Structure 1
Amino acid sequence: MEEECYTIDSDEPVNYQSAISDPESDKWLEAMNTEMQSMHDNQVWNLVNLPTNCKTVGNKWVFKKKIDVDGNVHTFKARLVAKRYSQTHGIDYDETFSPVAMIKSIRILFAIAAYYDYEIWQMDVKTAFLNGYLLEDVYMDQPEGFVDPKHPNKVCKLKRSIYGLKQASRTWNIRFDEKITSFGFIKNEDDSCVYKKASGSIVIILVLI
């Protein structure tokens, strides 16, 4: 499998305006359209009128290029990110804590896998945070460049979390835990990010990091 990483080149756009005026604007626009399609497919928000005495959370576009081991750009990535600093505790977010696997758990499981010659698989969840359901009423400005021309004055009422929200990682963890335990996985008592499922001689150990 080819390794990949993000560049830190200064030629990456710093905002929407610089992206659409960039020599490679067609690739950045395609990346933004892909991100917006993901938002639509996951039904992340509804357009509503902003309720009285409520405020919106801002957002911004973040642009990155992904390169392969030879230094060639193979993916243009655009991500819509909420401006978390505009959130107010107790109003549009409450709990933010989300557990991660302990280093010692990972080391122990690697040792077990090596001893028993278990297979190890690493997986990334695409747009992971979009799977978390929000408990709070959060209203967000429409994304720059993608304001609905029929409803330019409406705002996005978020149903799911997006990257940047203070509670995003917590809502993702809650949703993940609900789903994985519904498949028969049992949470480890000493590390809440380690799950196990056994069926006959087959044992699956899952670590959330």
Structure 2
Amino acid sequence: MDVKTPFLNGELEEKVYMKQPEEFPCSDGEQLVFKLKKSIYGLKQASRQWYLKFYNVNSLFGFEENVMDQCIYLKVSESKVCFLVLYVDDILLATKDKGLLHEVKQFISKNFDMKDMGEASYVIDIKIHIRDILCLSQETYVNKVLERFRIKDCSPSVSPIMKGDRFNLNQCPKNDLEREQMKNIPYASTVGSMMYA
């Protein structure tokens, strides 16, 4: 599911004033300010206030937040289990019980302006296959990383480093030309991107 304009749902905990837009006509030329009642896009605290609003609403329906990852929620009702994953304004629901799925969708839609996107096939570059079991694939993400770093046609290997290989200072660039050439090899970014997968 997709939340429409999520940051407009946040409730402000402090007083926030906004300058009057220049296009807003004022008959006497006086400069006015607006006191915001709710969060708007562009506020530093907008995403935090959206998260708090979402947390409070879901708690009312019996969802419990995961201690390790605060954007994953779990609802257990008798023998029925439902997982809810929030990624900014996208919600992924996972349950075996279609009745519970319908209840959750109804509840969320009553509280937020939502769009039901149907059954998920991709989430954050992760492909979802549902057969007898749930299968997740990051092939699309890995291919994007390989293309970005221009190593798509490299030879695959279990490990790019052989057991016993040692690194030393003699392998470092020794002059300005070698240092300049090393800038074209984003080793740390490549490794970090692959470790993310």
TM-score range relative to shorter protein = 0.3 to 0.5
Larger helix percent: 2
Bigger Rg over Cα: 2
Higher strand share: 1
Q: What TM-score comes out, normalization by structure 1 length?
A: 0.37
Of structures 1 and 2, the one with the larger relative CO (CA 8 A, separation 6+) is 1
